[in-house]
Chain A
């Protein structure tokens, strides 16, 4: 088998919209279809069979068991294009990229699309376990009295619907509450968090005004730009917001430095490098390697959203790189404090030695290379769509940069996810 190189050809997403707003009537299938159609238009894929489309959603209706395949069938792609649903909480989009690039690198396909969609507006709502069990029992009952007996077990309390939560089932804590513990543990200040949020907004607003997203975003339902971005926000405005997570002195996390609820979809087109060259497809960046990690946040009491700190050193070691060897750092801003705690942890001697088993700390990085065109705090974070947004953005940044000191520009993506997981990947400019 010959060696294959997986490259990012380009990407497309719909602008991320505030939940219960412009996309409130759009389903995950609708949004993913729109993202695919914009990608098809950009690269002339209409009517063409793509190796595989891989994606998913975090908030997913049971009827959407074939979400990605349904989106393919609704899109302009050749219906002979297969699809696969994949889910890893907020790392869904990045995990999909890893899946597709691995298949390409193995020579199992020449091109593929990775991505995801998430709608908070159109989220599924489950019935309670009590009601569900009663209905299943009634359905299984063979006689009328048995059926009535089953239905009689329904209590008024069972009728309350069960909305989707972002609480961790094993701790009962929401993600924000978990992060508040981490924020407190690492002593992340309100000021640091607000500054990171401000930079995210300013960077994203600048990127939009420079036309950076002209070939990365296709408008949808009249929305032409990310609705979360506030280029005119100030440190004073951010400082005036009330804390929503944490207690007492630890109450530093606000709606300004935490991501809100958004709807959106994003996809990335990947291909074998040779195939791309032969088919006049651009090659923005090479997918070098990836690593996934998890933390023991239940019994071990580790930080829920710091799993990437485990993945990063393992990935660096395998690739003979140091934490400082990157020209771009794309660290998903679930909360400003998540990014800051991740950086602090990797610079912390004790954490690196005792938790990660490293001989020493990975050290500090050039903060000017972090999320240079904004990230989730400004763009919004429709869970499964975030990976596609970041990978496509980073690939374009790397391609624009070209080489640094005679080597290809290099970037790293880090995304934390529910369940104490994290996915990390390295990309290099083509």
Chain B
């Protein structure tokens, strides 16, 4: 049933309003008001249309070897140096420029040592940001600050975080910038899934973020697989609709056999999703004390006693928004039970080595939220549960490292779902616009990021929280 439309929305989407926005004057006014049409983002397993520029500081070769492994051709960067500038008609110096649009800049700063090295980053970025195509990419690869013993590079590496976030904010037309922290012994095989994810449309709504790719053993064929989940069973909770359904579909596209889980009352929608992707449905209330055992039992029953879950995506979540002044124990407990306690219990059961449980070398992905990272008025229960997911990821990742199990989370910002469609127009528009990409994300953006995090090729990515928020102004 169509949601009741806000009068303001009716006006804003009227033919007259569209005509105004599409006229040159209207466009400039609209731009000033911040209501210009948002750029259409490149999505899916698609690389940028233009060339990928590879720029490496000093003798850094990690990015080059990674791109070579992925079979992605690169071109040399245009570097802005005083000598390279020409004098323009007005007599002012003109920086060197690319001949046409470029698709992406991959900037390898793993050899960063001293402050002066940063000049190379500026010199490469200046022409690149001017030439980047719509939905273009800046990917900065640098060593994680804590991987340095010496003071100066450690300090500088942290500085790159501010540089990356600023580049992300300055880029337009749906282009993004992200920073990948690596260890000294991170191999191209371990880095490949991350670089490809960032270059492809799958990372459309991931912007201004930084996360770590540690050293991990990844085979060449795993690193370059296009259907990485082939032959693997993945459980997705809350799979009946919205983001959960998108996760199930995306994982299935990448080869996964999906066990879709949702409350019995959502069984009809769940069956539709699961039949579409040839998975199996498990109608289950995840707050049951034995929910984890039931999931494992379903896996063993449907896929054989030797079958194990490769990954579990804890997507199911609820909100019971109330200002603290009005919040009673019931609404508080319900959110914490579904969003947090159930997840802890299920993990425990799935990790105890039982038949149908999580396999060593597998993956756990949770869903945090901008609300959890920044706090949100009226969401004390939700924010607590979602910040706790960050804690869960950080605490569990080292504990499960010896079993090769990765634990990560995504932090969605404003995602266009049935749930957010119910937010009043004006408020929704503010949410949609309060990020560097000037739009809300789509469920598939969250799904793609989860599929990347749980990818067997992302074995070096663990303990990370990757925000899918278009670089929301809210939070870090």
A binds B: yes
CB–CB B268/A218 < 8 A: yes
Contacts A41-B275, A46-B278, A282-B301 given; indicate if A215 touches B283 (C-beta within 8 A).
yes
A-B contacts, 18 of them at CB < 8 A, read: A37-B271, A37-B272, A38-B267, A40-B271, A40-B275, A42-B281, A43-B280, A44-B280, A46-B274, A214-B283, A214-B284, A218-B267, A218-B268, A218-B283, A219-B267, A224-B264, A280-B301, A280-B302
A310 within 8 A of B: no
Residue total for A at the interface (Cβ-Cβ under 8 A): 24
CB–CB B264/A41 < 8 A: no
B435-469 at interface with A (beta carbon < 8 Å): none
List residues of A whose CB falls within 8 A of some B CB.
Answer: 34, 37-38, 40-44, 46-47, 76, 211, 213-215, 217-221, 224, 280-282
B98 within 8 A of A: no
CB–CB B268/A46 < 8 A: no
CB–CB A44/B264 < 8 A: no
Instruction: Please count the residue pairs between chain A and chain B whose beta carbons lie under 8 angstroms apart in the complex.
Output: 67
Complex Cα distance, B260 from A38, in Å, reads 13
B296 within 8 A of A: no
The residue of chain B having its C-beta at the shortest distance from the C-beta of A46 within the complex is B275
B128-155 at interface with A (beta carbon < 8 Å): none
List residues of B whose CB falls within 8 A of some A CB.
Answer: 260, 264-268, 270-272, 274-276, 278-281, 283-285, 288, 301-304, 307
CB–CB A211/B264 < 8 A: yes
Complex Cα distance, B294 from A215, in Å, reads 12
CB–CB A224/B275 < 8 A: no
The residue of chain B having its C-beta at the shortest distance from the C-beta of A43 within the complex is B280
Min CB–CB distance A402 → chain B (angstroms): 15
Residue of A34, A42, A281 with most chain B CB atoms under a 10 A cut-off: A42
CB–CB A44/B278 < 8 A: yes
Contacts A40-B275, A43-B280, A47-B278 given; indicate if A220 touches B268 (C-beta within 8 A).
yes
The residue of chain A having its C-beta at the shortest distance from the C-beta of B280 within the complex is A44
Contacts A46-B275, A46-B276, A76-B275 given; indicate if A41 touches B301 (C-beta within 8 A).
no
CB–CB B303/A280 < 8 A: yes
Min CB–CB distance B268 → chain A (angstroms): 5
* Residues on A with beta carbons closer than 8 Å to the beta carbon of B288: 211
Complex Cα distance, B276 from A218, in Å, reads 16
* Residues on A with beta carbons closer than 8 Å to the beta carbon of B266: 219
The residue of chain B having its C-beta at the shortest distance from the C-beta of A280 within the complex is B304
* Residues on B with beta carbons closer than 8 Å to the beta carbon of A76: 275-276
Min CB–CB distance A55 → chain B (angstroms): 18
The residue of chain A having its C-beta at the shortest distance from the C-beta of B299 within the complex is A280
CB–CB A219/B264 < 8 A: yes
* Residues on B with beta carbons closer than 8 Å to the beta carbon of A221: 268
Residue of B264, B285, B303, B304 with most chain A CB atoms under a 10 A cut-off: B264
Given contact pairs A42-B281, A211-B288, A215-B283, enumerate 8 new A-B contacts (beta carbons under 8 Å): A41-B272, A41-B275, A41-B280, A46-B274, A214-B264, A214-B283, A218-B268, A281-B302
CB–CB B271/A38 < 8 A: yes
Min CB–CB distance A117 → chain B (angstroms): 16
Complex Cα distance, B370 from A34, in Å, reads 38
CB–CB B268/A44 < 8 A: no
CB–CB A219/B265 < 8 A: yes
Q: Which of A41, A211, A224, A280 makes the CB contact (< 8 A) with B271?
A: A41
* Residues on B with beta carbons closer than 8 Å to the beta carbon of A214: 264, 283-284
The residue of chain B having its C-beta at the shortest distance from the C-beta of A220 within the complex is B268
Complex Cα distance, B265 from A215, in Å, reads 12
* Residues on A with beta carbons closer than 8 Å to the beta carbon of B260: 41
The residue of chain A having its C-beta at the shortest distance from the C-beta of B266 within the complex is A219
The residue of chain B having its C-beta at the shortest distance from the C-beta of A221 within the complex is B268
Complex Cα distance, B197 from A13, in Å, reads 42
Residue of B278, B303, B307 with most chain A CB atoms under a 10 A cut-off: B278
Min CB–CB distance B237 → chain A (angstroms): 15
The residue of chain B having its C-beta at the shortest distance from the C-beta of A40 within the complex is B275
Q: Which of B268, B276, B302 makes the CB contact (< 8 A) with A38?
A: B268
Q: 9 tightest CB-CB pairs across the interface, nearest first?
A: A41-B271, A76-B275, A41-B281, A46-B275, A218-B267, A44-B280, A224-B265, A41-B274, A280-B304
* Residues on B with beta carbons closer than 8 Å to the beta carbon of A44: 278-280, 302
CB–CB B267/A217 < 8 A: yes
Complex Cα distance, B270 from A46, in Å, reads 13
Residue of A34, A40, A217 with most chain B CB atoms under a 10 A cut-off: A40
The residue of chain B having its C-beta at the shortest distance from the C-beta of A48 within the complex is B278
Min CB–CB distance A215 → chain B (angstroms): 6
* Residues on B with beta carbons closer than 8 Å to the beta carbon of A34: 268
Complex Cα distance, B452 from A47, in Å, reads 27
Q: Which of A37, A46, A217, A281 makes the CB contact (< 8 A) with B264?
A: A217
Complex Cα distance, B265 from A213, in Å, reads 11
* Residues on A with beta carbons closer than 8 Å to the beta carbon of B278: 44, 46-47
CB–CB B270/A41 < 8 A: yes
